[in-house]
A and B are shown apart, each in its own frame.
Chain A
């Protein structure tokens, strides 16, 4: 139904998943995927704050070349805990556990995921893993880098390695169970008429992500298990003095950790694939290619791990092979980027907040992705490996890409999740602040990297100071950009304007039920007879569809902004 922009205010539906039952037990023992998504939202936001705190410590310390804030040992702990908290406890779960859990049953037309109790279990496993890692942090933290390289982590580090390793090990199972749930749900729980190629690309993206989760995460589990055994019982797999090989650890570690970055970005790409058609009112260009590209990224992503190890003394032939594959893995991402852009062409574009995040994603992911190619080129990598160039590269993708996708998705689906709209103008301002803050934080780091500033160093030559100061200043602006949505989205959940079933309007099945949805999602199982993103053949959306071929669908007027 088209949202009325004038006339009497809408009312929230009488019964929905938030008021279906009351009390703390109804939340902590829920099997409703929507409530579990909100449990995850609270926990990943908590770890985002933890990771953000450590980031603040890093940037404050690096304001001066000799580092006045922290001792070198403490600095090592700061960047390590920042990485561990952000990678394992924020980025990997974020979009799949929050948006994926909430939306996938709605998008396929099911009442819940395939295994609702396993879904709840996966949240508890996440919490237990998180508690172990917090235990490590409270006991002095970890100083090995989030990569836990041996033999430092297994033999020489005097920090709380074992609890952190156990924490990450446990949390991995949360990831595995989520991936398992998604894969099975997409296979067996689709509503009648919801064929594979009518699925939203958000679902395809999560399907590909789930493949990576279930194939990759067990490998980090056994790797960390062996490392923990080595530290506690003195085994010797990674200890040269006993015949072991630290490089074996690196191979095993990166075999998961490279695909892990695709776990972080594929869901964000899935969000973008939903935002762009909605706010351009045009079907996604090259649906099949984008779906196939998601799978291609998942598969080829398993073949490139050694590009993290170009400087370990490996054979030139191996390095060439992995460099070549690294270039190949960029191709499906490029296909997607071109297809998103082509979707915009001839569309009827509006600049709502989610679309602003999508535009931010397009530009920043492009820069992050291209700089990945520079790093994949062997001769160049020799000079920029382990410098701030790498740091800037992955932050452009993980923050400029994945986090923008997460925020864009949160804004886009907030009316569905809460039944209420966020304040649009404030949100647009926050998006701009975030974008500006982000670029001020991380662009100087590319320059620092090229100039030769190594990463993970607590001090630097004085000529680098100007860029470090710029980066820290940018980080303070970025922080405001994150705090604002946390405040107004929370406010909007209780006091925002009631949104109705389909405020944008958008074409997905999730928008054909009330906001917030019933516990069982749909009053009756939907029967799907339309293609994905088919703005031209959806009269139920109430959009103005001109009859001339190729004329864009007219964007609805906004009454209140």
Chain B
């Protein structure tokens, strides 16, 4: 089917095209809910069964970095919504500005995530052969990014947890499998979202969006908001439950 301007050949009107694309994006988001739901279920069941190990896991995550990332994503959803508004009101320069800001905030998120992942790697908290939940407590010199007070607290917590759960290391590895699985999948979706945003940026610079036709901005916005909502679930699930630091 060929295109006439923005209208694809299988549609009769731009209105029909808009409704169709929007419905398509909503249904796709439903499939994403089911997709993330599966791994969240596995996480929730294991959280309940192995709450000592999972509490340990949550407390090794940085509340500061996670909280900052949450604010960053919420801000990016705001800038995305502003981009949609700009498109709906034909404010061409603002569309480009807000899309750029959204992409920038996305990259800030990636940067923080990189820092967090690097930290996990150094602390031997990546599931696999070298996984060791006791690593930092046994080698405080190697984990010099944890200050003495926090280290003492961690030592105390880990000893209590190990007493309650003799298989603490194995169960903690489950926590980190879920952590990397969920945040990794989320990051992958953000990368795809960033790609879509770059495409939108290119189109907006070419002047494609205005009050009459702005649907692509709208539906990428839906996708971006969804990715944000997934993080809003992940943050409490991974960082906040059983927090006592």
Chain A residues at the B interface, C-beta cutoff of 8 Å: 31, 110-116, 176, 180, 183-184, 187-189, 214-219, 221-223, 226, 229, 233-237, 241-245, 248, 252, 520, 525
A217-B34 Cα distance, complex, nearest whole Å: 8
Q: A180-B27, A242-B173, A243-B171 are in contact. Are A233 and B127 (CB under 8 A)?
A: yes
Chain A residues with Cβ below 8 Å from B9 are 111-112, 520
Residue of B nearest to A114 (CB): B20
A113-B30 Cα distance, complex, nearest whole Å: 20
Chain B residues with Cβ below 8 Å from A184 are 20, 23-24, 27
Partner of B50, one of A218, A222, A233, A243: A243
Give 6 closest A-B pairs by Cβ, nearest first: A222-B38, A218-B35, A218-B34, A235-B177, A112-B10, A188-B20
> B195-213 toward A: CB 8 Å interface, digit per residue (1/0)?
0000000000000000000
Is the Cβ of B128 less than 8 Å from the Cβ of A180?
no
Is the Cβ of B27 less than 8 Å from the Cβ of A183?
yes
Partner of A236, one of B27, B36, B177: B177
Chain A residues with Cβ below 8 Å from B28 are 180
Is the Cβ of B174 less than 8 Å from the Cβ of A214?
no
Chain A residues with Cβ below 8 Å from B173 are 235-236, 242
Which of B40-48, B106-114, B220-228, B234-242 contacts the other chain?
A: B40-48
User: Within the complex, what minimum Cβ distance (angstroms) separates A130 from chain B?
Assistant: 21
A219-B32 Cα distance, complex, nearest whole Å: 9
User: Within the complex, what minimum Cβ distance (angstroms) separates B111 from chain A?
Assistant: 25
Is the Cβ of B35 less than 8 Å from the Cβ of A219?
yes
Is the Cβ of B35 less than 8 Å from the Cβ of A243?
no
Partner of A218, one of B31, B46, B49, B177: B31
If A112-B1, A235-B177 are given as contacts, then 8 extra A-B residue pairs at C-beta distance below 8 Å, sorted by A number, are A184-B23, A189-B20, A214-B31, A223-B38, A229-B181, A237-B42, A237-B177, A243-B171
Q: Is B37 part of the contact surface with A, judged by Cβ < 8 Å?
A: yes
Chain B residues with Cβ below 8 Å from A219 are 34-35, 37-38
Q: Is B19 part of the contact surface with A, judged by Cβ < 8 Å?
A: yes
Q: Is B170 part of the contact surface with A, judged by Cβ < 8 Å?
A: yes
Chain B residues with Cβ below 8 Å from A189 are 10-11, 16, 20
Q: A221-B35, A226-B181 are in contact. Are A180 and B174 (CB under 8 A)?
A: no
Is the Cβ of B1 less than 8 Å from the Cβ of A111?
yes
* Residue count of chain B within 8 Å CB distance of chain A: 37
User: Within the complex, what minimum Cβ distance (angstroms) separates A165 from chain B?
Assistant: 15
Q: Is B116 part of the contact surface with A, judged by Cβ < 8 Å?
A: no
Which of B31, B39, B45, B49 has the most A CB atoms < 10 Å from its CB? B31
Q: A229-B181, A243-B50 are in contact. Are A116 and B1 (CB under 8 A)?
A: yes
Residue of A nearest to B10 (CB): A112
Is the Cβ of A115 less than 8 Å from the Cβ of B24?
yes
Chain B residues with Cβ below 8 Å from A252 are 38, 41-42
A520-B42 Cα distance, complex, nearest whole Å: 47
Is the Cβ of B10 less than 8 Å from the Cβ of A113?
yes
Q: Is B159 part of the contact surface with A, judged by Cβ < 8 Å?
A: no
Q: Is B167 part of the contact surface with A, judged by Cβ < 8 Å?
A: yes
Partner of A188, one of B23, B30, B31: B23
Is the Cβ of B10 less than 8 Å from the Cβ of A525?
no
A222-B186 Cα distance, complex, nearest whole Å: 13
Is the Cβ of B34 less than 8 Å from the Cβ of A215?
yes
Across the A-B interface, how many residue pairs have beta carbons closer than 8 Å? Answer: 111
Chain B residues with Cβ below 8 Å from A234 are 127-129
Chain B residues with Cβ below 8 Å from A31 are 1
Q: Is B12 part of the contact surface with A, judged by Cβ < 8 Å?
A: yes
User: Within the complex, what minimum Cβ distance (angstroms) separates B31 from chain A?
Assistant: 5
Chain A residues with Cβ below 8 Å from B174 are 235-237, 242-244
User: Within the complex, what minimum Cβ distance (angstroms) separates A243 from chain B?
Assistant: 5
User: Within the complex, what minimum Cβ distance (angstroms) separates A245 from chain B?
Assistant: 8
Chain B residues with Cβ below 8 Å from A116 are 1, 10
Partner of B24, one of A114, A217, A218, A235: A114
User: Within the complex, what minimum Cβ distance (angstroms) separates A37 from chain B?
Assistant: 15
Is the Cβ of B31 less than 8 Å from the Cβ of A180?
yes
Is the Cβ of B127 less than 8 Å from the Cβ of A226?
no
Q: A184-B27, A236-B174 are in contact. Are A110 and B10 (CB under 8 A)?
A: yes
A520-B11 Cα distance, complex, nearest whole Å: 11
User: Within the complex, what minimum Cβ distance (angstroms) separates B41 from chain A?
Assistant: 7
Q: Which positions 129-155 of chain B face chain A at CB distance < 8 Å?
A: 129
Residue of B nearest to A213 (CB): B31
User: Within the complex, what minimum Cβ distance (angstroms) separates B195 from chain A?
Assistant: 16
User: Within the complex, what minimum Cβ distance (angstroms) separates A184 from chain B?
Assistant: 5
Partner of B42, one of A241, A242, A248: A248
A188-B14 Cα distance, complex, nearest whole Å: 12
User: Within the complex, what minimum Cβ distance (angstroms) separates A227 from chain B?
Assistant: 11
Is the Cβ of B19 less than 8 Å from the Cβ of A188?
yes
Chain B residues with Cβ below 8 Å from A215 are 30-31, 34
A218-B33 Cα distance, complex, nearest whole Å: 9
A241-B170 Cα distance, complex, nearest whole Å: 8
Chain B residues with Cβ below 8 Å from A237 are 42, 46, 174, 177
A176-B19 Cα distance, complex, nearest whole Å: 20
Chain B residues with Cβ below 8 Å from A235 are 127, 173-174, 177, 181
Chain A residues with Cβ below 8 Å from B30 are 214-215
Chain A residues with Cβ below 8 Å from B20 are 114-115, 184, 187-189
User: Within the complex, what minimum Cβ distance (angstroms) separates A224 from chain B?
Assistant: 10
Partner of B177, one of A115, A221, A229: A229
Chain A residues with Cβ below 8 Å from B127 are 233-236
Q: Which positions 116-131 of chain B face chain A at CB distance < 8 Å?
A: 127-129
Is the Cβ of A222 less than 8 Å from the Cβ of B39?
yes
Partner of A187, one of B23, B32, B49: B23
Q: Which positions 73-113 of chain B face chain A at CB distance < 8 Å?
A: none
A525-B37 Cα distance, complex, nearest whole Å: 42
User: Within the complex, what minimum Cβ distance (angstroms) separates A462 from chain B?
Assistant: 46
Which of A189, A237, A252, A520 has the most B CB atoms < 10 Å from its CB? A237
User: Within the complex, what minimum Cβ distance (angstroms) separates A436 from chain B?
Assistant: 42
Residue of A nearest to B16 (CB): A188
A456-B181 Cα distance, complex, nearest whole Å: 34
Q: Which positions 159-179 of chain B face chain A at CB distance < 8 Å?
A: 167, 170-171, 173-174, 177
Residue of A nearest to B39 (CB): A222
Pull 12 A–B residue pairs with CB atoms less than 8 Å apart, ordered by A. A31-B1, A111-B1, A115-B24, A180-B28, A184-B24, A189-B20, A215-B34, A218-B34, A221-B38, A222-B39, A229-B181, A234-B128
User: Within the complex, what minimum Cβ distance (angstroms) separates B171 from chain A?
Assistant: 5
User: Within the complex, what minimum Cβ distance (angstroms) separates A523 from chain B?
Assistant: 15
A389-B56 Cα distance, complex, nearest whole Å: 49
User: Within the complex, what minimum Cβ distance (angstroms) separates A228 from chain B?
Assistant: 11
Chain A residues with Cβ below 8 Å from B37 are 218-219, 222
Q: A111-B1, A217-B31, A252-B42 are in contact. Are A180 and B167 (CB under 8 A)?
A: no
A243-B174 Cα distance, complex, nearest whole Å: 8
Partner of A243, one of B10, B11, B23, B167: B167
Which of A218, A223, A226, A525 has the most B CB atoms < 10 Å from its CB? A218
A236-B171 Cα distance, complex, nearest whole Å: 8
Chain A residues with Cβ below 8 Å from B41 are 252
